[in-house]
Each structure stands twice: as structure tokens, then as C-alpha cells.
Amino acid sequence: MMAWNALRPIVQLFAQSPYRRRLLLGSLLAAITVCAGMALLGLSGWFLTAAYVAGLSTATAVVFDVFAPGAGVRFFSMLRTGARYSERVVTHDATLRVLAALRVQLFSRLAAADTALALRQRPARLLHRLTADIDALDAVYLRLLTPAVSLLVSACVTALALTIFLNWQSGLLVGAMVLAGGLACVAWCMRYGFMTALRRSFAGEQLRAQVIDAVGAQTELVMAGTLPRQMARIAAAERQQFAADIRLNRLESGVAVAMAMLGHLATAAALLCAAWLAQKGEIGAPVAALATLLLLAALEPLVHIRRGAMEAGRTLLAARRIAPLLDDAVDTHSGEAQAPATGLAVDMQAVRLQHPGSASALLQQIDLQVADGEWLVLAGPSGAGKSSLMALIAGDLAPSAGQVLRAPCASLPQRTELFQASVAANLRLGRPDASDAQLWDALQTAGLADVIRALPQQLNTPLGSQGAGLSGGESRRLTLARLLLHPAPLRLLDEPTEGLDRQTAAQVMNTLAQWHAQRAASGRSAIVMASHLQREARHADRIVWIAPLQGGLAQARKGTAEFEALLQRLRPG
């Protein structure tokens, strides 16, 4: 019951989306397609039978009109073809648009502070939510709702047509058989295919997670000698998925046979009713053929709803996972933080941070302000909470208590993030409207201009995944240049010269200091940097030493003895 309740928000998502008119149009076109198919088959049967009967006599053959029925056959044939093509285009386009908007909404929710930290430890789960789970929701509209509407329309049209051409008893009987038989087949699919579809979904997720773990940690697995064991887990998950696929295929084949038998029974019932009325002289052979062949197209929606019903378990599982995330407000995202008072870039008030499952708080009663244009360095022993404090400022973590106010920021994490694109394209992620001159200025500040100029295509040089084509230090400097291009008034740097040689690091820090000095005069270029190196910290205006066990924060401004004392506690680098 909980799974079915989870499906309701997904249905509401489709019903309340900006593309609901397209969704309604798609369902209408699907119903028109079924009706046109029924009219085409019924009229063709009537036309052939009437032509045969008319040909038995010269008098009737001469006066028989072949043009009107022939034109009707061509009309319904073209209508069915056009409606089918339009229905596929409209329904799939609308579905993809709704799911694309859902993927963005879900990504924003998963990027929120309280969720991102948990999913960061399980990247396979995050990937599965954004891909397989959302893809499974297309069955809600394409394979369940739209075919259900078509089935209801076809049952009503069948009952109405047989009532007109035969009698109301025949129309009610055969129409009820179509509707009840179709619903019975769908219910049978869901009952016996539900658990199999669930097992297949779990096996697929497990297979994906095992493969991602094997690829991401292959070096560690080889060194530990556990790679064969990991490969055995992958093979076991694949066997489970294969077994579930075989079971689903067998169930679907059985349902196909049942639906074919349902069609034969409904056709036989219509044929018996027509034959009985024809024997009584109430209808002719052409009308009997029309009523019989009409039923062959009435069950067409069952072909489309069958697969959706078989995968109902997978769809409902995805809905149950995603539905709780749709109503949560995304108010902890880094780009939506509340701004501090005028003159401040960061304002932390009585902040406390305790990680889930931890017995004690990592940070307690942190009061920290960073002025506009100030360069602040966070230092301290390993494990003191420098990275956590940076994550609080960036919005990647939510405080357990207290308040964090900050200006819009851009960050340079320890891990380099570059994409398979040109050098210019990677740089313009920080500022899309940046000119080539601005790109070169940023590269010069980061100490990478000479390296890029030496490349054959310079700014247009393509890079591979994660910056392949550049060394680790060059990739680091490229991400630093991208950060400098960003227009945000607050920049967060986590050990910016990590991985650089001493000479290059000194050059980068000197040019960065010059760059900051030029912009600090305007009061809108604050820097917060986590560091354990003297070569980075000596350029700061203030050092904040984090030592929770020794009483919290110790601060010192540049030019004081306390500043030099804190500086000497850092590694020279």
C-alpha cells in the first residue's frame, strides 16, 4: 500500500507539469489511433463482404458503390498512420521533458547539504537515482495511463458500435468482456510480475554498484588481492539479473497467450451474436463481418499496457524512492545561502557541527566573521575540522546548530574537476561570457599561460576526461584560473598549491596575492583558504587556528607576533 501511495506524487507531477496539455494531447491521439484502427478494420470487413454479396447478382453489382467505402478505408488508414506517428512524437517528447525537469529537481535535492554527504559515500546509489529510477517512471504515462485510457475508450466504442449495428445486449456483453478481460490480464501481470520486477531492479542496481566499485577501486583491489572476489560478486549479480529477465519474459509470453485467447473469445462472442441476428434476418452478412472484425482492433491497447504492467514493480519501487524527495524544500543548497550584513563576506554565529553517528561534536560555538576584501587562512592539525569548516561556508554541510551567512561563493576543492572539452570551455564554466583576453589573464595569474600557449591549438586544445592531456599540477592551475574568472565576491580555496613544485607554487601564490590586492581595494574579493603550508598562509591578512581540544579558535592578524607564531607552526612546503 505504501508503494501505491508513493505513485500518487508521480502522477501529480505529470498532471501538474507545464507540459500537461501535451500529455493530454498524447492520450487523445492514442485514443484516436485505436478508434481509427477499429473503424478501418470494421469498414474493410464490411466493404469486402458487401462487394462479394453484390457480385452474386448482376443487378446489384452494377449499382454497388465502391468509391465511398474505398475512400473511407483510405481515410481511416491515413488517419490511423498519422495519429500513431503524432502520438509517439507527442507522448515521448512530453514524457522526456517532464523527466528532464524531474532529474534537475532531484539533482538539486540530492545536492543539498543533508543528502549530499550521505550519497557521496555511495556514488553508485546517486547514479542509480538520477538514471535508472527516473527512467523507470516513463512507464507511468507511456505504458500505464495512456494505454489505460485507450482501453477504456475502445471498450466504450465497441459497446456503442455493437449496440448500433446489432443490439444493446450484444454491445453490453462484448464491451464488458473487453474491459473486464483487459483489466484481468493487467491485474494478473502485476500480481505475478511484481516481485520478479523488483528482484530484477535490485539485481541491476547491485550489478551497477559492483561494477562501479570495481572500476573505481581496481588498484586497491589488485593490491589487496581481492579483485577475483569482486569479479565473482559482479558475476553473481549478473546471474540474478539474467534469471529475473528470463522469468519476466516467460510471464510476458504467458500473458500474450492469455490476451490472444481473450481476443478470440470476444471475437467469437461477437460472431455468435451476429450470426444469430443474421439468421433471424435482422442484419446482413456485411454488418456481421463489420461487428466481428471490429473486435480484432479493440484489444490493441493491451499490447502496450502489458509491458508496463509487467514492470509495475520496478516503476513503483522507483516512485517510492523518489517521491519523498519531491516535497522537500531545497533551502540548503550552496547557491541559495542567506547573505550576511553589509561589509561582511562570511558571518558564522554560534555554529555547532556534529556528524551523524558521532558521539561528540567536531566544532562547537564557532563565531567567525570574514570582512569583504579580507584574505583568511584556516589552519590547524589534521582532523581539527578545517575541511568541515570550509564545507559549512560553502554550503556543502548544514550546521547542527547556529547560523552560517555568506555571500555568493566559488570554491576550489582538493579534487580537480575538469571535463572532456577544450581549455576555453573548461575555463568558461566559471564565467560563460569571458573573452579570450580575460581567459589569458586568468591563466597568467594561475601560472599556466606559457603552458597553454605552447599547445598546438592553445585555448581550443581539447582535454580528455578529468583533464587528460595536462599533468596533475597543470590541471590544478587550470581549475584555479577558472575560479579566478568566477564573478562571485567570495572564493574558497582548499590547499590551492597542492601537487605543485616549490618554484611554481611560489609563482602562483605571488601572482594570486597581486591579483587579490588589486581587487581587495573594491572590498568585494574575499578569500577563505584552508592550508597547512607557510608558503600559502604568509600572504593572508589573518590566520585562524582551529584547535577544538585547546579551546576553539585562535586568531592573529598579519604584522603581529602572534601571526608569525602561528605561521611557524605550519609546514614550510
Q: Which of 207, 262, 209 is nearest to 238 (CA)?
A: 207
Sign of the CA dihedral with 566 first, then 568, 570, and 573 last: positive
Domain membership of residue 372 (yes or no) is: no
Domain hosting residue 514, numbered range: 377-568
Q: What is the average per-residue pLDDT within 504-513?
A: 76
- In the predicted structure, residue 528 carries a pLDDT above the cut 50: yes
Cell numbers describing residue 402:
547556529
Residue 247 one-letter amino acid: R
Domain membership of residue 353 (yes or no) is: no
Does 119 lie in the same domain as 36? yes
Q: What is the percentage of the chain residues whose pLDDT exceeds 90?
A: 2
Domain count, the chain: 2
Does 486 lie in the same domain as 400? yes
Instruction: Give the orientation angle of helix 227-279 with respect to helix 285-298, to 10 degrees.
Output: 160
The answer to whether residues 298 and 147 touch, using CB atoms and an 8 Å cutoff, is: no
Domain membership of residue 361 (yes or no) is: no
Does 242 lie in the same domain as 181? yes
Q: What is the average per-residue pLDDT within 169-185?
A: 76
Q: How far is CA 248 from the centre of its chain?
A: 26
Sign of the CA dihedral with 255 first, then 259, 260, and 262 last: positive
- In the predicted structure, residue 78 carries a pLDDT above the cut 90: yes
CATH number at residue 209: 1.20.1560.10
286 Cβ contact list (under 8 Å, min separation 6): 45, 46, 47, 49, 50, 53
How many beta carbons lie within 10 A of that of residue 118, not counting itself?
12
Does 223 lie in the same domain as 124? yes
Which of 83-97, 110-124, 209-223, 445-459 is the least confident region?
110-124
Q: What is the average per-residue pLDDT within 284-296?
A: 77
Domain membership of residue 42 (yes or no) is: yes
Question: Each residue of 157-168: pLDDT tens digit?
Answer: 888 887 887 777
Domain membership of residue 350 (yes or no) is: no
The C-alpha cell 603550508 sits at 533
Residue ending a domain, choose from 326, 345, 360: 326
Does 251 lie in the same domain as 122? yes
Question: Each residue of 244-289: pLDDT tens digit?
Answer: 888 878 887 877 787 777 777 777 777 787 778 777 777 777 877 8
Does 529 lie in the same domain as 457? yes
Q: What is the pLDDT of residue 85?
A: 92
Domain membership of residue 425 (yes or no) is: yes
Higher pLDDT, 445 or 354: 445
Average model confidence (pLDDT) across the chain: 76
Does 416 lie in the same domain as 305? no
Does 384 lie in the same domain as 316? no
Vertex 346: Cα angle to 344 and 352 (nearest 5): 140
Does 389 lie in the same domain as 505? yes
- In the predicted structure, residue 117 carries a pLDDT above the cut 60: no
Question: Each residue of 191-227: pLDDT tens digit?
Answer: 777 777 777 777 777 787 788 778 777 777 788 788 8
Cell numbers describing residue 145:
495511463
Q: What is the pLDDT of residue 522?
A: 62
Domain membership of residue 230 (yes or no) is: yes
Domain membership of residue 336 (yes or no) is: no
Q: What is the average per-residue pLDDT within 288-310?
A: 76
Does 321 lie in the same domain as 416? no
Instruction: Place 466 in a pLDDT band, splitting at 50, 70 and 90.
Output: low
CA 553, CA 546: separation in Å to the nearest integer? 5
Distances (CA, A) of 321 to 132, 316, 324, 326: 11, 9, 7, 10
- In the predicted structure, residue 124 carries a pLDDT above the cut 60: no
The answer to whether residues 23 and 94 touch, using CB atoms and an 8 Å cutoff, is: yes
